[in-house]
Amino acid sequence: MNAVDPTAIWGRVTDRSWSRCAQRPPALAAAVHHDDMCVDADLSLETLRQLGAARAWVTNEWEHDGVNASGDVVLSRLPDLTAGQC
């Protein structure tokens, strides 16, 4: 069995060269779960800042399972964020 080098995959994702996305505003919105025990909210917000036009909905109503646990609340709010309605 061959081990997968995580930097081969994640290195490309976390490489700051992708910040060129900030030059063309993406229609991107993200739910950032403030008190999530698995995902660092500050890192999530910094990533969104680097993307430029991305919008964040910071909440502590759910943790990283908010899409499932909230019913349709999270997924229905994100399109409103991209349209500037929130």
Q: What per-residue confidence (pLDDT) applies to 32?
A: 92
DSSP label of 2: P
Tens digits of residue pLDDT in 66-82? 888 888 888 888 888 88
Is residue 40 one of the residues assigned to a domain? yes
* Full residue range of the structural domain in which residue 34 is found: 26-82
Residue 34 is predicted with a pLDDT of: 87
Indicate whether 3 belongs to any domain: no
The tens digit of pLDDT for each residue in 3-46 reads 556 556 555 555 555 555 556 555 788 999 888 888 899 999 99
Number of domains the chain is built from: 1
Residue 73 domain-assigned (yes or no) = yes
pLDDT of residue 6: 55
Determine, yes or no, domain membership for 42.
yes
Q: Is the pTM of this model over 0.85?
A: no
